[in-house]
Amino acid sequence: MSMDRKIKKKRWTPKRIVILSLSGLFIIFVIYTLLTIKSNQLRVNKERLTVSTVTKGPFQEFIPVLGEVIPIDTRYLVAAEGGRIEKIFAQPGLNVKKGDRILKLSNTNLLLDIMYREAELYRQSNNLRNTKLDLERYGIMLDQQLAQIGFELKEAQNKYERYTYLFKEKLVSKQDFETAENNCHYLKEKYELTSKSKETDISFRQQQIQQLESSLNRMEGNLKIIMQKQDELTIKAPIEGLLSLIEFQIGESMPRGIRLGQVDVINSFKVRAKIDQHYITRVEVGRTGAFPYSGKDFKLKSTMVYPEVEENEFKVDFVFLDQQPQRIRRGQTLHIRFELGDLEEALLLPKGGFYQKTGGYWVFILNENEQRAIKKDIKLGRQNPLFFEVLEGLEPGDKVITSSYDNFGKAEELILKDN
The domain limits of the chain are: 38-61+344-417, 62-72+268-339, 74-107+234-262, 109-232
Please report which confidence band the pLDDT of residue 120 belongs to, taking 50, 70 and 90 as the band edges: confident
98 or 212, greater pLDDT: 98
pTM to 2 decimal places = 0.53
**pLDDT value at residue 1:** 44
Please report which confidence band the pLDDT of residue 27 belongs to, taking 50, 70 and 90 as the band edges: confident
**pLDDT value at residue 25:** 72
Residue 354 has pLDDT above 90, yes or no: yes
Please report which confidence band the pLDDT of residue 6 belongs to, taking 50, 70 and 90 as the band edges: low
**pLDDT value at residue 379:** 94
CATH 2.40.30.170 fits 62-72+268-339, yes or no: yes
- Topology given in CATH for the domain delimited by 74-107+234-262: OB fold (Dihydrolipoamide Acetyltransferase, E2P) (2.40.50)
**pLDDT value at residue 220:** 85
CATH class of 38-61+344-417: mainly beta
Q: Which of 6-20, 80-94, 208-222 has the lowest mean pLDDT?
A: 6-20
Residue 4 has pLDDT above 70, yes or no: no
How crowded is the C-beta side of 158, counted as CA atoms within 13 Å? 6
Mean pLDDT value across the chain: 86
Mean pLDDT of 266-282: 90
215-259, pLDDT tens digit by residue?
888 888 888 888 888 888 888 999 998 898 877 788 888 888 888
Contact present, 56 and 347 (Cβ < 8 Å):
yes
Question: Kindly report the CA angle at 343 between 337 and 348, in degrees rounded to 5?
Answer: 90
Contact present, 202 and 135 (Cβ < 8 Å):
yes
**pLDDT value at residue 39:** 57
Please report which confidence band the pLDDT of residue 2 belongs to, taking 50, 70 and 90 as the band edges: very low
Mean pLDDT of 155-178: 87
Residue 10 has pLDDT above 60, yes or no: no
Mean pLDDT of 5-21: 61
Q: How far apart are CA 39 and CA 17, in angstroms?
A: 34
Q: Which of 274, 270, 273 is nearest to 330 (CA)?
A: 270
Q: Which of 243, 247, 255, 240 is nearest to 78 (CA)?
A: 255
190 or 135, greater pLDDT: 190
- Max avg pLDDT among 185-199, 254-268, 350-364: 350-364
Domains 38-61+344-417 and 62-72+268-339 share a fold: no
Residue 161, φ and ψ in degrees, nearest 5: -65, -40
Q: How far apart are CA 310 and CA 274, in angstroms?
A: 10
Q: Where are the beta strands (DSSP E) in 216-295?
A: 234-236, 241-245, 253-254, 259-264, 269-276, 288-293
**pLDDT value at residue 270:** 94
Mean pLDDT of 206-213: 84
Please report which confidence band the pLDDT of residue 15 belongs to, taking 50, 70 and 90 as the band edges: low
